[in-house]
Amino acid sequence: MPYPPPRPYRGAGTKRRHSGTAAQRHGGTAARRHGGRVRSRALLAFFRVAHYFEDSPAAASRPGSVTLVLPDLHLKLETDRGVFSPDRIDPGTRVLLEGVPAPPSGGDLLDLGCGYGPIALTMASRAPSATVWAVDVNRRSLELCARNAASARLDKVRSVHVDEVPPEVRFAAIWSNPAIRIGKPALHAMLTRWLTRLTPGGAAYLVVQRHLGADSLQRWLVDEGFPATRHASRSAYRILKVESPL
Ligand SMILES: C[S@@+](CC[C@H](N)C(=O)[O-])C[C@H]1O[C@@H](n2cnc3c(N)ncnc32)[C@H](O)[C@@H]1O
């Protein structure tokens, strides 16, 4: 378990402005200012962030549900503790799903870091003939995503661990709300691993918060030879379009 959790992606040259552990930074100041209740909330938020990308979350199960409402889709999704954003559809995910162009109608598509599946299920619903690979490292997320796809009768969703995608599969599109909080080296390795598997002419759409380094991530992608442009900018988010380098 990463403890304290790695820093979010903020781009090259960003200086750490705080000292102490993440727990102290998230909890300590608030506690001094507002007392114990706020500190408890801050600590809860810290542990939620620290655990959601674990292989097997330590957090005890507490099933819940959220509703995904889009102009073309209305789905109730099962969630749980120990997965990303269990209490609501993440605003960045919503920005992506409302701003991304229709996926290719067939072939293999990828949701990189599927969580409980809002992106994968939307892809599958918009491209019913395609096979949608929903990958994650978090087993609880993968189980939820598989159950949510089954409930929605989206039987072309393959909810599998990142290491279980057959190596020959190439993706006509990748959509992702990538796990920025795993830290820059891991994020770069993850993106390199999957973006190099785009088919020629394929494209990835990544939603990233501006204050978590969307613009520097775009620069890094370009420097690494991935043609990356800003597809859209809404609220605090950017949607980056990354074309196949081939
Ligand atoms: C920001 S969350 C997005 C989850 C979901 N797509 C959504 O929109 O609600 C990022 C997800 O990436 C997963 N993740 C972390 N490291 C990963 C890796 N190396 N490869 C694939 N997924 C990873 C996390 O477990 C988490 O579920």
Residue 81, pLDDT above cutoff 80:
yes
CA-CA distance, 49 to 227, in Å (whole number)?
A: 30
pLDDT at residue 104, as a whole number: 98
The number of domains in the chain is 1
58 part of a folded domain: no
Residue 85, pLDDT above cutoff 80:
yes
The better pLDDT of the pair 178, 24 is held by 178
In the predicted model, what is the mean pLDDT of the chain? 85
* Dist. CA 39 → ligand 1 center (Å): 27
Residue 26, pLDDT above cutoff 50:
no
- Beta-sheet strands, E only, within 80-143: 108-112, 131-136
pLDDT at residue 232, as a whole number: 98
CATH of the domain at 109: 3.40.50.150
CA-CA distance, 193 to 210, in Å (whole number)?
A: 23
| 40-52 tens-digit pLDDT | 444 445 444 445 6
| 182-233 tens-digit pLDDT | 999 999 999 999 999 999 999 999 999 999 999 999 999 999 999 999 999 9
Percent of the chain with pLDDT over 70: 78
Residue 37, pLDDT above cutoff 50:
no
pLDDT at residue 246, as a whole number: 76
70 part of a folded domain: yes
pLDDT at residue 19, as a whole number: 38
* Closest protein CA for atom 10 of ligand 1: 179
**Best probe residue, ligand 1, of 114, 145, 148, 171 (max atoms within 8 Å of C-beta):** 114
Neighbouring residues of 198: CB distance < 8 A, sequence distance ≥ 6: 170, 171, 172, 174, 204, 242, 243, 244, 245, 246
* Dist. CA 49 → ligand 1 center (Å): 11
CA-CA distance, 164 to 142, in Å (whole number)?
A: 12
54 part of a folded domain: no
Give yes or no for a contact between 144 and 80, defined as CB atoms under 8 angstroms apart: yes
Residue 18, pLDDT above cutoff 70:
no
The DSSP secondary-structure symbol of 35 reads: -
Q: Domain range spanning residue 198?
A: 64-243
- Low-confidence winner among 22-26, 143-147, 186-190 (lowest mean pLDDT): 22-26
148 part of a folded domain: yes
39 part of a folded domain: no
192 part of a folded domain: yes
Residue 141, pLDDT above cutoff 90:
yes
CA-CA distance, 189 to 216, in Å (whole number)?
A: 16
CA-CA distance, 106 to 97, in Å (whole number)?
A: 18
Residue 35, pLDDT above cutoff 80:
no
* Closest protein CA for atom 7 of ligand 1: 115
* Closest protein CA for atom 24 of ligand 1: 53
* Dist. CA 155 → ligand 1 center (Å): 21
3 part of a folded domain: no
Rounded average pLDDT over 173-189: 97
The better pLDDT of the pair 38, 242 is held by 242
pLDDT at residue 57, as a whole number: 76
The set of protein residues with a Cβ atom below 6 angstroms from ligand 1 is 52-53, 84-85, 90, 93, 112-115, 118-119, 135-138, 141, 162, 177, 179, 182, 190
pLDDT at residue 213, as a whole number: 95
